[in-house]
Amino acid sequence: MRTAQTLQRVVAQTRPELGRAPQLHECRQGKGDRIPIPEIAGILEIRPHTSTVLGVLCAWNSFQRKGNFMSFDGKVAIVTGGASGIGEATAKLLAARGARVLVADVSDAAGARVVSDIESSGGSARYLHVDVSSRDDARKMVHHAIETWGDLHLAANVAGIGQTPSRLHDMAESTWDLIMNIDLKGMWHCMAAEIDYFLSRDGGAIVNVASGAGMRATVGQPAYGIAKAGVIQMTRQGALEYAKDGIRVNSVAPGLIDTPAVKALPDDVRALYAAGQPGGRMGEPLEIAQTIAWLLSDEASFVSGLNHLTDGGWFQMSPA
């Protein structure tokens, strides 16, 4: 703060025609209606490292200006699996914060309901039937967003399914194929189509939904866990390969989240699940959506290749 106060004093003394020195919270990088940082740097003839310090201070201040924090105004986003659970919460959160959202799913009626919910809250959204296990569908999804809104900036790849419980050695091949096609290959289809477009513009941000089950072995879910581990690795690969192209790729690994499939379980089973969590409760879909939104936002502009656990501390427990 001392730097800011000194700066304000110097501006007031050297450029009285500015009326008054800008408050730190009024600094904008780029299109500000006050004095942009480069101009302040020019006035003061301060060296680049000083202006970097100032930039950091202003970024911190923008963080504190809650009105614009995690704003998606003017952004276009795709949310796969947006018709239910974590995807639905993500689509609604992004739309509530200004994004135009393409809800991509195989569940048409539920997808239409999510769009209608968003629109009746004043947001903007469309639904498209997309089976992520089809490479063609993934490409059409990206084209549809661009055709509808003229651009695409963000993608949350949330669609995924759980597996019929089994052990590794006697799992049906059809189970392996189904899980791999949707949870792993489907993620690749979406990432590839999104990156292909992001390369033609000035970048973009992607968040893939993995799982805590992709970070340690869990009983009864071999294919699911292997697919989700693959999603985490694919995220790292994307982050490294496309950093120079302005594309950020991160993943979120949720713990146990109280989505519709879990809500449909008998109360005593749900209570047992909750009791097994370190905080005595499951997570809510919105709590994952918030992590996804942060990773997609400009506030995470230097975050890429991260697999962000959002699990209420579950991963820190010793396996039973």
- Residues marked as catalytic: 224
Other beta carbons within 10 Å of 30: 7
Given candidates 35, 37, 76, 84, which one binds ligand NAI under the rule CB under 6 A? 84
Cβ 290 to ligand NAI, closest distance in Å? 14
If one asks whether residue 222 binds ligand NAI (CB under 6 A), the answer comes out as no
Could you tell me if 14 and 44 are in contact, meaning their C-beta atoms sit under 8 angstroms apart? yes
What strands lie across the sheet with 204-209, from one edge to the other?
124-129, 100-105, 76-80, 154-157, 204-209, 247-254, 307-310
Could you tell me if 156 and 205 are in contact, meaning their C-beta atoms sit under 8 angstroms apart? no
**Which residue, 219, 285, 234, is CA-closest to 255?**
285
Which positions from 138 through 177 interact with ligand NAI, judged by CB under 6 A? 158-161
Per rule CB under 6 A, count of chain residues that contact ligand NAI = 28
Burial group, residue 197, by CB count within 10 angstroms (0-12, 13-18, 19+): middle
If one asks whether residue 307 binds ligand NAI (CB under 6 A), the answer comes out as no
The one-character DSSP state at 49 is: H
Site string for ligand NAI, 103-122 (x = CB under 6 A): --xxx---------------
Closer CB to ligand NAI, 87 or 123, in the complex: 87
If one asks whether residue 80 binds ligand NAI (CB under 6 A), the answer comes out as yes
Q: Per-residue DSSP letters for 229-260? A: HHHHHHHHHHHHHHGGGTEEEEEEEE-SB--H
If one asks whether residue 194 binds ligand NAI (CB under 6 A), the answer comes out as no
Give the range of 1-9, 126-134, 232-240, 267-275 binding ligand NAI by CB under 6 A.
126-134
Given candidates 4, 54, 86, 232, which one binds ligand NAI under the rule CB under 6 A? 86
Q: Report the distance separating Cα 132 and Cα 254, nearest Å.
A: 20
Take residue 210 and report the two structure tokens written for it. Answer: 């993995």
Closer CB to ligand NAI, 18 or 262, in the complex: 262
Which positions from 230 through 289 interact with ligand NAI, judged by CB under 6 A? 254, 256-257, 259-261
Closer CB to ligand NAI, 11 or 187, in the complex: 187
**Which residue, 88, 90, 142, 100, is CA-closest to 124?**
100
Contacts with ligand NAI, residue ranges (CB under 6 A): 80-81, 83-87, 105-107, 130-133, 158-161, 182, 186, 209, 211, 254, 256-257, 259-261
